[in-house]
Structure 1
Amino acid sequence: MSVSGAFIQTLTMVDIATGWTECFPLVVREAALVVEALERAQNLFPWPVRGLDFDNDSAFMNDTVVSWCRSHDVEVTRSRAYKKNDQAFVEQKNGAIVRRLVGYGRFEGIDAARTLARLFAAARLHINFFQPSFKLKEKHREGAKVIKRYLPPATPYERALVHPRLNEAFKRRLREIYRTLDPVALLAQMRDAQNELGKRVDQRAGKPAMTVAPVQSDLAAFARELGDGWKQGVQRGIHRRRYVRRKPVPRRPSMLDPYIPTIEEWLATAPHLSAVDLLSRLEAHPPGRFGGHQRRTVQRLMKNWRSKAARQLISSTEITLSVQASSLSI
C-alpha cells in the first residue's frame, strides 16, 4: 500500500462520563481504517461502546462507517454543521494529549505509524490510570460573568470506579489492570517512542531517519532525572525543528544598480538626505525612469550604506586608539 504524500492522522475517542481517552493512528484517511480502529476501540475500552458522536468529516459520515455502527448496535449521532464546540470533549483531548505527546510536526509512512501506535499504547495506560484532570460540575451566568465550578480532580480510572451505572465486573477488571502498571515504566516507554518519532518528524516516508540522542534505558536513573527535568525544559525529539534554508537566496538585479555609486556619493556629501530627496535627484537620470514605487528600495540602500559607514568609523577609531596606546607605552 503506497502512502507517499499522505500525512498520518490521529483518531481520538473520548468517553464523556469519565474522560477515558483512546487514540489511534490512521496512515491514510479511509473509511475501512476508521472501522478497523473502531473495532480495536471496542476491545480497549473497559466497557461496551453504545454510541458514537462524530463530526461531519467524510471519513466518518459514509456508508462504510455508519453501516458498521448499525450492524453492531452502536448509535450514531453527529455534530451540527459549523459548530465546532459540539466536539469540545474531543478537541480538548486533542490539545491536552495528542499535541502534547506528538507535537505539531507531520509524519508519513508505516514506520512512523507503528511508532505512533506504540506511543499511544503506553500513553493510554499512563493517562487513563495515573493522570488526574478536572471535570466541570456546573456553570451559571450572573450578568456578563460566567461562573464555573469543577469537581475534585480525578483520573478516568477513579471516575469509572465510582460510576453508578458501570458493572462491577468491569470495575474488577480495571483494578486488576491497575495493579500491574508501573507509571515510571510507562513514561519511559512514552519517551522512547517520542525519541523515535523525533527522528521522523517532518520527514518524507522512505528517507533515512535523523539522529537523536537515546533515552535513558535505566528506569532508576530515568526516575531520578524526572525530578529536575521539568525545571530544565528538556527539548523533546518530537518538537518541530526550526526551518533552515539549504539553498542560497539569489539576489535579483535592480534597476538602481547602475546608480549605486552616484547615490553613495550624494550620501557622503549630504548624509541627511532622505529617500524622497534621492528619488527626486534620480528623476533627472534619465527623466521619468524612477518614481515613488522605488522608495522602499532606496531606503534599504541608505540603511546598508549608513551601516557600512558606521562600521568604517568605528574601525578607524579603534586604529587611532591603538596607535595612541602604543605611543604612550613607548
Structure 2
Amino acid sequence: MTNERRKMVLRGRSHTKPGSLFKSQIPVRTWTEWDDAVPGFVEIDLVGYERGNNRDEFCFTLTVTDIGTEWTVNRSVRNKAQRHVFAAWIHVMEVFPFPIIGIDSYNGSEFIIQQLLRFCQERPITFARSLSGNKNDGACVEQKNWSWVRDLLGYQRYDSPEELELLNQI
C-alpha cells in the first residue's frame, strides 16, 4: 500500500483518560480474586465513533464480555459522560443472561468513578482495573470490540440521536 493510500485508511483513536481519584480503591486485576472459568466475570470497554474528528459530541459503545463464555452485550451511548456509561452498565446488567460477579475495566475516567465503585460494593461484585499502559489487558473484550463493533460498523462518525438509536437496535 502506498503512503498516500495509507493516509486514507480510517483508524480509531483511544479516548480513554486516566481516572485517578478513586483508582487506589480499585485493585489491579492481577492482585484480585478472579475465577474467569465461572460465568459472570466480565471485561468492559468503550469504542468511540468519531471518524478521526473528536470535536463535539459523538457516540460510543459500551462492550461487556464475559471471559469464560465470551457472551457479549453492547449498549451505545451519546457520549462517554459517566452518567451515560453508568446507565448503559445498568442496562447491560438487566439483560445479561447470568449474574455479573466481577468487572475488569480500563483505567479511564468513564469507569473509575465513585458511582460504579459504590454499586459494586453494595453487591457481591468484584471491581478490578487493568494496569496502566498494559495493552494486553482486556484481550477478550478487545476481540469483541473488533468482531462485534468495528468489523460491523467500521470507523465512521455517528453523532445524531437517530444514529444512536440505530446503534442500539443493531
TM-score (norm 1): 0.34
Question: In structure 2, what is the equivalent of residue 274 of structure 1?
Answer: none
On the 8 A contact 1:35/1:68 being kept in 2, the answer is no
Instruction: Give the match for residue 119 of structure 2.
Output: 68
- Unaligned 5+ residue runs, structure 2? 1-54
**1:166-205 equivalences in 2 (<5 Å):** none
Output the CA distance in 1 between the equivalents of 2:140 and 2:58: 24
Aligned to 2:159: 108
One-letter code aligned to 2:97:
P
In the alignment, residue 124 of structure 2 is paired with which amino acid? D
Amino acid paired to 1:36: A
2:47 match: none
Q: Which has the higher helix share?
A: 1
Q: Give the letter aligned to residue 56 of structure 2.
A: G
Q: Does structure 1 residue 28 correspond to structure 2 residue 28?
A: no
Shift of 1:95: 0.8
What CA distance in whole angstroms lies between the structure 2 residues aligned with 1:72 and 1:5? 36
1:41 CA displacement:
1.2
Displacement of 1:69: 2.0
Gaps of 5+ in 1: 120-330
Give the C-alpha shift of residue 11 in structure 1. 0.6
* 2:59 aligned residue: 8
Larger radius of gyration: 1
2:149 is the counterpart of 1:98: yes
Instruction: Provide the rounded CA distance (Å) in 1 between the counterparts of 2:84 and 2:121.
Output: 17
Give 4+ residue runs of structure 1 displaced > 4 Å after superposition: none
Could you tell me how far 1:33 is from its partner in structure 2? Answer: 1.5
Q: Secondary structure at the match of 2:168?
A: helix
Matching residue within 80, 89, 95 for 2:131 = 80
- The structure with higher relative contact order (CA 8 Å, sep 6+) is 2
Deviation at 1:85, TM superposition (A): 0.5
**Aligned amino acid, residue 65 of structure 1:** L
SS in 1 for 2:136: helix
2-structure distance, mates of 1:39, 1:112: 21
Deviations 1:101-134 (A, max 9, x none): 1111011021111010001xxxxxxxxxxxxxxx
1:46 CA displacement? 0.8
Cα deviation code 1:246-273 (max 9, x no counterpart)? xxxxxxxxxxxxxxxxxxxxxxxxxxxx
Give the CA deviation at 1:73: 2.6
Q: CA offsets per residue over residues 4-46 of structure 1, 9 Å max, x none?
A: 9211011101001111011110111111122211211112111
2: CA distance between counterparts of 1:32 and 1:108? 18
Matches for 1:144-155 after TM superposition, within 5 Å: none
RMSD of Structure 2 on Structure 1 (CA): 1.3
Identity score, percent:
33
> What TM-score, normalized by structure 2, do the two folds share?
0.65
CA distance in 2, matches of 1:95, 1:87: 12
Looking at secondary structure, tell me which structure has more strand per residue. 2
